Structure formats: structure tokens, C-alpha cells
């Protein structure tokens, strides 16, 4: 049973460029959340998608946007990259509904983004 799949695993971009990261959730999961993890820190919530809509957003600027497709996969887009956007970007999936997260979230291995 495949877990959460993220691509690419590593990426180097230049300041000002745009990037798209991809996530396929675990089979049977319909909710996808994105997190940013800086070195030595815990993951920070960016936003969550459910039924192709952004359900909740964390404290991130509008440069961060996302999308969920009918097959539940998701993309994270970041525009006008800054050096401070360098981080590990994690995708987490779970079943939706009121007991969301009750059995934990399944995380992918992440995309390591370096902005130079």
C-alpha cells in the first residue's frame, strides 16, 4: 500500500522564480495538508484541501497557493521565491470528516527546496 508520494524530492530555484510541488495522498485518503519545515524546526501548517477546496490556511502569504484535483492529488505553488522559502515541504494526507486526524496524519518524505 503506497503511502504519500511527493515529487520532486529535491529542487533548486533562483530568487523570484516560481515552483510547483506535487503530492499524491495515501490510498483511501481524501484530505491533503501542506507543511513547511525549516531546518531544526517543527512543520508549519500552510493550508489544507478537501473536496478540491482550500479548507483552512495558516499564516502564509498569498504567494503560496494550491490546488486539489478530483483524484485527491494536490499541488503547492509558490510564486516570487525568496531565500527564506528554502525548506522541506511536506504533504500529509488523512481521511476527511469530523474524525480527521484521529488516526494520525500520513506524511510524505517531502520536497527539499533550495532558493539561491
Partner 1 sequence: SQKIEQNSEALNIQEGKTATLTCNYTNYSPAYLQWYRQDPGRGPVFLLLIRENEKEKRKERLKVTFDTTLKQSLFHITASQPADSATYLCALRLYSSASKIIFGSGTRLSIRP
**Residues of this chain that bind partner 1 (CB under 8 A):** 4, 33, 35, 40-45, 48, 50, 55-56, 58, 90, 92, 98, 100-110, 112
Query: From the CB of 16, what's the least distance to partner 1, in Å?
Result: 27
- We find the least distance from the C-beta atom of residue 52 to partner 1, in angstroms, to be 15
Answer for the pair 19, 78: CB distance below 8 angstroms, yes or no. Answer: yes
Given the complex with partner 1, which of 19 and 32 has the nearer CB atom? 32
Which residue number, 5 or 20, has a Cβ lying nearer to partner 1? 5
Please tell me the distance from the alpha carbon of residue 6 to that of residue 34, in angstroms, as a whole number.
11
Give 42 or 70: the residue with its C-beta nearer to partner 1: 42
Q: Which is nearer to partner 1, 33 or 78 (CB)?
A: 33
Cell of 25: 495522498
CB of residue 61 to partner 1, shortest distance in Å: 17
Smallest distance from partner 1 to CB 6, Å: 8
Rg (CA), the chain: 13
Please spell the DSSP secondary structure of 9-65, one letter per residue.
SEEEE-TT--EEEEEEPPTT--EEEEEEE-TTS--EEEEEEETTEEEEE-S--TTEE
Three-state DSSP at 98 gives: coil
Amino acid at each position: 500500500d503506497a503511502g504519500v508520494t511527493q515529487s520532486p524530492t529535491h529542487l533548486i530555484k533562483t530568487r523570484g522564480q516560481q515552483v510547483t510541488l506535487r503530492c499524491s495522498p495515501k490510498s483511501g485518503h481524501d484530505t491533503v495538508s501542506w507543511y513547511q519545515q525549516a531546518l531544526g524546526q517543527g512543520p508549519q501548517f500552510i493550508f489544507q484541501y478537501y473536496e478540491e477546496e482550500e479548507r483552512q490556511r495558516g499564516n502564509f502569504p498569498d504567494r503560496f497557493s494550491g490546488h486539489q484535483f478530483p483524484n485527491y492529488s494536490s499541488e503547492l505553488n509558490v510564486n516570487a521565491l525568496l531565500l527564506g522559502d528554502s525548506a522541506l515541504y511536506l504533504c500529509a494526507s488523512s481521511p476527511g470528516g469530523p474524525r480527521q486526524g484521529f488516526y494520525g496524519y500520513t506524511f510524505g518524505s517531502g520536497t527539499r527546496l533550495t532558493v539561491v
